[in-house]
Amino acid sequence: MRKLMLAAALAAAPALAAAQQPPCAPLPVVAQMLEREFNERMVTAARLSNGGTMHVFASQGGAWTLVVVSPAGSACIIADGSAWSILESTGRKS
């Protein structure tokens, strides 16, 4: 919850007035905040079917944050949690 409050503060804008709107800002701003405040770095990313991307940021301690970037470039924090771990690789790369 603290991450969502910090992200909302950095992205404070009229568009965030809607109660259900997640905290959003340009991806470099979100990434910098996550690294500075939570020692999280991007550990994986994938392209979404709508042309956007999703990114997981994680710390060595296991804290993680899911960020979805819209096709227009707005990066929104969607979820965060603990106990992030890397599973055995399938050996497949795209």
- Structurally, how many domains does the chain consist of? 1
Residue 58: inside a domain, yes or no? yes
10 Å Cβ neighbour count for 38? 19
Question: For residue 48, which of 78, 21, 18 has the smallest C-alpha distance?
Answer: 78
pLDDT tens string 2-38: 565 555 545 444 444 445 567 899 999 999 999 999 9
Q: What pLDDT, on the 0 to 100 scale, is given for residue 15?
A: 44
Q: Which single residue is written with the structure tokens 């603990």? A: 82
Residue 30: inside a domain, yes or no? yes
- Give the domain extent around 63: 2-11+20-80
Please provide the average confidence, as pLDDT, over all residues in the chain: 83
Q: Rounded distance, CA 92 to CA 51, Å?
A: 22
Residue 55: inside a domain, yes or no? yes
Residue 93: inside a domain, yes or no? no
Residue 85: inside a domain, yes or no? no
Residue 86: inside a domain, yes or no? no
Q: Please state whether the predicted TM-score (pTM) of the whole model is above 0.85.
A: no
Residue 51: inside a domain, yes or no? yes
